[in-house]
Amino acid sequence: MHAVLLDKAHHAIKEKLPERGNDHRLGFHLSPPVGWMNDPNGLVYFRGEYHVFYQHHPYSPQWGPMHWGHAKSHDLVHWEHLPIALAPSDPYDRDGCFSGSAVVVDDTLYLIYTGHVWLGSPRDDNHIQQVQCLASSTDGITFTKHGVIIDAPPEPEIMHFRDPKVWKRGEQWWMALGARKGDDPQLLIYRSVDLYHWEYLSCALQGVRESDGYMWECPDLFELDGSDVFLYSPQGLKPSGYANWNKFQNSYRLGKLDDSGHFNPNAALHELDHGHDFYAAQTLLAPDGRRLLWAWMDMWDCPMPSQAQHWCGALSLPRELSLEGDRLRMRPARELTALRKSQHGLQIPVVESASRPLDVRGALLEIEIELDLAGSTAEHFGLALRCSEDQHERTLLYFDAMARRLVLDRQHSGAGVSGVRSVPISPEQTRIALRIFLDRSSIEVFVDDGAYTMTSRIYPRPDSLGISAFAVNGTGVFGDLEAWELTDLKI
C-alpha cells in the first residue's frame, strides 16, 4: 500500500508541474516542486551528501495529510528533488507522517517520525492519536516502514506527543519529544540501544501555560561550545513588548541535560529569529563539526499568495550556529558565497531628509552595508528594497534612532503581507553591519555578523526591483555598499 500511495503522489506532482506559476518562485531557497511545504525534518549527512526532508502535501498548496518530501545536495547550494520518502498509508499514520528526524547506522538511513490519526469527524485537535514510528533505507531513496516504536505517551493525560529528535549520546540513542499535558507543555526524553526498543527516561522540562505556552513543537537538543541548547517552537506565547508577535515562535534556552534526562536551564528564553516567517527550526551536525540550521520560512495563518500558483512554503537558507554568552549567533552557511555572480560596489552619498535611488537592481541579490549611527542625525535612515517605479511597493530596513531599533517594515511589500518587526540596538553601538539576502519572495537579514536575524516573506511584483537609500528628518550616513547578483537555481 505504501508504494502505491507514493506512486499516486508522484503522479499528482507530475500532473501539476506544468500549471505551476513562478512569479514568486524562489531562486535559491528549497521549495516543493508543487503542493504544500512546512517543517524541515530529518536533516542528515548520508554517503557524502546533505539530505533534507520536509512536511509535504503533494496534492494541493494547502496543509493536508502530511508526506515527507525529500531533497539532497552535495554543497548546500545546489539541491536535487528526490522521490517522496513517506506517505500516510497505515493504520498508525493514516492521517499524516508528521515531523521527526534522521540518523545513519552502519550505512543505513533511518527516519523516526510521528504517526498521526484523527479519532473523530470532523477532525478535532482534542481527539487524536500520535505514536512514534520508524522507517529505513539502504539507498537513501526508497524507505521501508517498520511500524510503531513508541505506542503511547507516558501519561494518559498527554495526547499531543510528537516531533521526535534522535541523536547519539555515548553508546545509546536518545530521543526528545514535544508534548502537551492538559494545557501545559513538556519536553520528554526516551532512550534506546537499537532504535526499535525505547524506554521512557523522564520529563526533561515542564512548562506552564501562562508563561511557556501550551505546546513545545519540533524540539532539538544539542551541545554547542560547551553548553546544551534546547531549541523548540512554543505555541501559545503572548506578545510582550517587541517579542512574540508571530502566531507561533521559534525559541531556545541554554542549560545542561544530565544523564538522568533532566534539562536544567541556566539562561533566559530567547527568540531565535525576529522576522515574520520563521518556525520549526532543526539542526544538523555537519561532518566538519559545524552545527547547521534550517527553518520553515513561513508562518501559520499568514498570507501565502503562491498558493494561487499551485505551490506554497520554503525553507530558510542554511545557517551556521555559534554561541556567544547566552545568545546564539546565526551566520549564512559559508558555501552560499558560491551563489554570487556579478558584483556592484557603490559609495552612497550622505542622504539628507530624502530618498536616493541606487544604481543596483534585482530580485536575487546579496547586499552588505554598514549604517553609521554616530555620524547620522536622522530619525529613521536605511534602505528601501524591491521598490516599484512608483514607490507604492517597497520593503524598508532602517534604523529608528528614537526607539534604538533596527526595523524591518513590510507594510508595502506586495501581495497580502504586512507588519513590522525589529531588533534592539544598544546605546553604545555606533555602527550596524547588515548582510541581506533577497530572493523573489523573501528577505533574510543578518545583523552584526549574525547577532540577530530577521526572516520574512515578501511578495512584490516581478518588476519591483529598485533599491533606494533614505533618511527621514535629518542626515543618514552609509558605509560603502557591496551587492552581488545571485544565481537563479530554479530549485
In tens, the pLDDT along 406-456 reads 999 999 999 999 999 999 999 999 999 999 999 999 999 999 999 999 999
**Rounded Cα–Cα distance for residues 192 and 177 (Å):** 14
- Stretch(es) of the chain classified as CATH 2.60.120.560: 340-485
pLDDT of 123 > 90? The answer is no
**Rounded Cα–Cα distance for residues 180 and 299 (Å):** 21
pTM: 0.97
State the DSSP code for 347: P
39 is catalytic: yes
List, for residues 333-372, the tens digit of each pLDDT value.
999 999 999 999 999 999 899 999 999 999 999 999 999 9
**Rounded Cα–Cα distance for residues 275 and 27 (Å):** 20
State the catalytic residue, choosing from 23, 39, 194, 277: 39
35 bridge partner residues:
311
Q: What pLDDT is stored for residue 264 in this prediction? A: 97
Give, in degrees to the nearest 5, the angle at Cα 335 between 332 and 336: 55
The listed CATH number (2.115.10.20, 3.30.300.30, 2.30.30.40, 3.30.360.10) that belongs to domain 2-18+27-334: 2.115.10.20
pLDDT of 121 > 90? The answer is no
pLDDT of 25 > 90? The answer is yes
Domain at 340-485: CATH code: 2.60.120.560
Beta carbons of 249 and 185 less than 8 angstroms apart: no
Cα–Cα distances (Å) from 346 to 318, 357, 370, 430, 439, in that order, read: 28, 12, 12, 21, 21
Beta carbons of 232 and 225 less than 8 angstroms apart: no
- Stretch(es) of the chain classified as CATH 2.115.10.20: 2-18+27-334
**Rounded Cα–Cα distance for residues 237 and 242 (Å):** 13
